[in-house]
Chain A
Amino acid sequence: MKTIKRWGLRRGVQLNAPTPYQWWLAALAAVMAAGASAGLIVFARGLVVTNLTDLVPWGLWIALDMSSIALSAGAFLLCAAVYLLGLKQFQPVARTATFVGLIGYSMAMLCLVLDIGRPDRFWHALVYWNPHSVLWEVTMCITLYFTVLALETAAQ
């Protein structure tokens, strides 16, 4: 007979031992907590904590931003293939792709807000336009894709 291992907290209160999946979730939560507190430190103390210099004004975390954009761009294209072009054979993964795209683009936006010196003025990019700037184009794309994916996720 299989016995279920239990963790006793107090007399009378007993919990099941965490499954490997729950351990994995806990590890992810720990990483997220570390990231959130690091983000708060950057907001509070400014970009000086990043040790970036005027010779290297953009740090390695730009790579994080690019990776999440690459991830979600694929997801976004898959979405478009199913919902706009009607390629029904990809239908089973379309919902997952939408969600992955949403996560990716929100991660990219979070990274960008953390990376700018004046996060309180992030909305300036949407109000004051310079179409000559590639970064402006990137910001507009991320914002628009995020909006579309948020609507699509909400509609599902």
Chain B
Amino acid sequence: MTQATVGRRGFLKALAAGITAAVSLRMWRNATASETTGTSPHKWAMVIDQSKCVGCEYCTQACRAHNDVPPTIAWNRVIPAGKVGSKDVFLPRPCQHCEHPPCVEVCMVGASYRRADGIVMMDYDKCIGCRYCEVACPYGARAFNWEAFTGPNPAVPTWGTPEVERRPRGVPEKCSFCYQRVDRGLALGLKVGVDPEATPACVVACPTGARKFGDLNDPESEVSQLLAKHPSYRLREDLGTGPRVYYLPAHEEVAG
């Protein structure tokens, strides 16, 4: 037996030093990992007019068809929100695509991330399914795939196919502002929010025109115009999440 030249204490010390160095290096390189990287000329936002919403849930179904969302999950829930006067009021709730998204802050592997144009995305191949994002989201926008979704999707009509891949068992999923339609529309030179092919499916499907989508950086866009002319509110603004979904409140109908 030969005498070890490095004792246990020395080995542990070297190990600790090495780990500290590696951690510091990665921390330094990843200091901005959960912050938005890059720049974009766009600032996507959705405006939902509660005085026009009739609670038909066409948005929910169109979303299911385009994004292959299972029947047990709704990326865009329509929540009854009481009455104004004699009229029922509804609160359609997609992902709020926060400017400071708690889900992105807490995601331990960076599977939730925020694009420069404001869309909060999910990398379903990176996600480990810890559901921390679901716990963190104040809007309940995320739903977990507790089971594998197999078989045909009842929401998908026979003449069409979903635009995105179905999510596997064990990852949470949420609304993506139909990024695939926005990106493809931009690539084809279409106007997002105006051309239906370049607009989120829920906005296109809404029969009363209660939902609008567009670029807040463009003062001429419909969303910018609506927000300039009407009072609006966002959900839980006190939390500082900075949602990109604006609501125009329902009001009492005035005769004449």
Spell out A's residues near B (CB within 8 Å).
Answer: 46-48, 52, 54-55, 57-58, 83, 115-118, 121-122, 124-125, 127-136, 139-140, 144, 148, 151-152, 155
Contact = CB atoms under 8 A, between A and B. Distances in A.
Interface of B: 8-9, 11-12, 15, 19, 23, 26-27, 30-31, 33-34, 105-111, 126-132, 134-135, 140, 142-148, 168-172
Contact of A54 (B8, B26, B108, B142): B142
Contacts of B106: 132-135
A116 B31 CA distance: 25
B8 A116 contact: no
10 contacts: A54-B142, A117-B128, A121-B126, A121-B127, A122-B128, A129-B33, A130-B34, A131-B33, A132-B105, A144-B19
Contact of B146 (A46, A136, A140): A46
Main secondary structure, interface of B, reads: loop
Nearest to B131: A57
Nearest to B123: A128
Given A54-B140, A118-B129, A124-B109, A130 B135 contact: no
B129 A54 contact: no
A83 B12 CA distance: 11
By Cβ-Cβ distance, the 3 closest A-B pairs, closest first, are A117-B129, A117-B170, A136-B108
Contact of A46 (B108, B130, B140, B148): B148
Contacts of B147: 46, 48
